Amino acid sequence: MNSITTRVRSRPYRAACLLAVGLVLATTSTATATASEPAAAHDPAASRLQRDTDAIHDAGAIGVTVRYTAPGTVRTTRSGEAEAHTGRPVPRDGHYRIGSTTKTFVATVTLQLVAEGRLRLDEPIETWLPGVVRGNGNDGRRITLRHLLQHTSGIPGYTALPSAVPALYSARGYRENRFRHYRPQDLVAAALTLPGRFEPGTAWAYSNTNYLLVGMIIDRVTGRSWGEEVRDRILRPLGLHDTRVPGDDPYLPQPHAQGGHTFAGDSRPTDTTVLNHTVADAAGAMYGTPSDIDRFFAALLSGRLLGPGELAEMRRTEPIPDEPGRGYGLGLESTELGCGGEYWHHGGNDLGFSSENGVTADGRRAVLVVRNGVDENDEAGGARQDAATRALIDHALCAPDPSRR
């Protein structure tokens, strides 16, 4: 799901989107560094990674886990706590709610169906969902599958409506609705009570409703849920045993950090770790671990999940307004590196969790950042955490390649 501080936004730079690409870890050796281990003191790159990890914690995150991969190297750094005021460290490879990173999985399945000739990117969604998107300037006859995947549809986001998703808006709403089951068609219907934001294809605006509709299209075309397709087409073939589409199961497996979320107007955080994620559906329902998400993006960017044509379509980006140097493709983002070139990513935010990542264009190096603890009342603090996260990713991906020293 997108950041829930903006009712499910999506990226830690404006609140997050998650992407991490690394190498196939079975072929690499491992070097792990944490704040309490001596490895960082003898490795300048590991020391820099630890300092940058600490900077994110110092900016206000309760806990931070960072995973860095390069040829022959895997580093993990940690800072802060899994739960505030307990002293319990964040787990090295703990489960977390990946939020909008789910969109990259859903987009990958969609492009596989395109390759199989079962879907067409530039066909109106009315073809598969007749009459579903109508009203208030929203018209499925003018909106294509590409528009949905790239957030150029103009369809408003359902997460802008507190009445539709009360669990995302207050501690009381969370407590009263954390076990509630949501149907995507009901959330779409709620979104369509709002006016369309622009004519399809003429602008860009992030909307979680887009991916609910993509999930519904996958269901209609395959006769199976998007979650089943993700499981059978991606999770099982890649051996991602710690990544799930949880359905109505509201619990995270151990180990995991606590999702502490301070809602607007509150002075204390609420433990939001337990939540029925049908509230996010195909826009952000999944959970995983850093190592699993790393393997997924490694497979995706190396061409194991999509053919060259479909991967090229995924990487065709639209500029993100007011964010120079950033673009959004089909469930995948790009950002310019300070040292030149760009990296690919899709982060995700959730109640109490935030994640961001990046991979170099050649796929040789990747870095993934997971933060626990979100305070909606501290916009400046959130901006500092985002800036520190952005700096860590840039430093990690611009540093000399350890395999070429």
The candidate with the shortest Cα–Cα distance to 345, out of 330, 361, 334, 360, is: 334
Query: Bridge partners of 89?
Result: 81
Angle formed at CA 307 by CA 302 and CA 309, multiple of 5 degrees: 115
3-state secondary structure of 354: strand
Residue with tokens 């960082």: 40
State the catalytic residue, choosing from 10, 79, 100, 355: 100
H-type alpha helices, 233-335: 236-238, 290-301, 308-314
In contact, 105 and 286? CB cutoff 8 Å: yes
Instruction: Tell the burial category of 375 from Cβ atoms under 10 Å away from its Cβ (0-12, 13-18, 19+).
Output: buried
φ, ψ of residue 323 to 5 degrees: the values are: -135, 80
Angle formed at CA 223 by CA 279 and CA 302, multiple of 5 degrees: 75
Catalytic (active site) residue 100: yes
The token duo for 81 is 């706590």
Pairwise CA distance, residues 54 & 46, whole Å: 12
The candidate with the shortest Cα–Cα distance to 285, out of 217, 345, 211, 376, is: 211
3-state secondary structure of 371: strand
H-type alpha helices, 74-177: 102-115, 145-150, 171-177
Q: Which residues are catalytic?
A: 100
